[in-house]
């Protein structure tokens, strides 16, 4: 029986997955989440989703205007 987050009942109910974040980011998120009356998972998910949607929209606008896409970090194994 696996005990990993990806296989847990909670992860299946919340459609969640484990990610690595810096300790500094987690500490700040705990404080901010407490002020907002949220769990760290709820807070981090909300903040990340808002930032991702903003950056996606920005990327689409840049692509539509013909601007070159910024070069990002590659994942291990990508060419």
Q: Could you report the per-residue pLDDT of 1-55, keeping only the tens digit for each?
A: 455 555 555 555 668 889 999 999 999 999 999 999 999 999 999 999 999 999 9
- 67 or 54: which carries more pLDDT confidence? 54
Q: Which two tokens stand for residue 19?
A: 């990610």
Question: 25: how many CB neighbours lie within 10 A of its CB?
Answer: 11
Residue 12: predicted pLDDT:
57
Residue 78: predicted pLDDT:
60
Residue 66: predicted pLDDT:
84
Q: What mean pLDDT do residues 44-72 have?
A: 88
Q: Is there a contact between 15 and 4 (Cβ–Cβ < 8 Å)? A: no
Residue 1: predicted pLDDT:
46
Structural domain boundaries in the chain: 21-65
Q: Tokens 């998120």, residue?
A: 29
Strands, E assignment, 1-79? none
Rg (CA), the chain: 17
């Amino acid at each position: 029986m696996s005990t990993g987050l990806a296989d847990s009942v909670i992860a299946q109910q919340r459609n969640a997955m484990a990610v690595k974040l810096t300790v500094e980011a987690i500490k700040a998120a705990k404080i901010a989440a407490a002020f907002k009356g949220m769990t760290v998972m709820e807070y981090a998910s909300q903040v990340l989703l808002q930032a991702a949607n903003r950056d996606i929209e920005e990327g689409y606008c840049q692509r539509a205007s013909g601007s070159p896409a910024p070069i990002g970090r590659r994942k291990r194994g990508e060419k």
